[in-house]
């Protein structure tokens, strides 16, 4: 019986931490800006990414979708969780040849 309570308490703590550490859209824009090339492109990327990004908040995580083109396959898709981002779809990485 104690194991059940420990599990529930641990799960509640993880969920509460996930709820409080769900990254914002500004955090995502900064992440994309840091991932892109620095310099002039980095300065331009921020406002463009901000205006073309949609955020779907699911409480414990968020889904960020950025469409730079009208084509469905030309989009960035990332999951924001615990103040971090995980790429789900990044066309820039797919187009670069692997060594």
- What tens digit of pLDDT does each residue of 21-70 get? 999 999 999 888 887 765 555 666 778 888 889 999 999 999 999 887 77
CB 31 within 8 A of CB 49: no
Segment 3-25, tens digit of pLDDT: 999 999 999 999 999 999 999 99
pTM value is: 0.75
Q: Which pLDDT score is estimated for 97?
A: 45
């Amino acid at each position: 019986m104690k194991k059940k309570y420990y599990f529930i308490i641990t799960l509640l703590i993880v969920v509460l931490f996930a709820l409080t550490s769900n990254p914002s859209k500004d955090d995502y824009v900064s992440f994309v800006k840091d991932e892109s090339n620095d310099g002039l492109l980095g300065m331009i990327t921020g406002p463009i990414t901000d205006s073309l990004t949609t955020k779907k908040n699911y409480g414990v995580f968020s889904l960020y979708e950025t469409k730079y083109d009208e084509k469905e396959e030309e989009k960035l898709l990332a999951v924001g969780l615990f103040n971090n981002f995980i790429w789900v779809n990044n066309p820039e990485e797919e187009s670069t040849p692997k060594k």
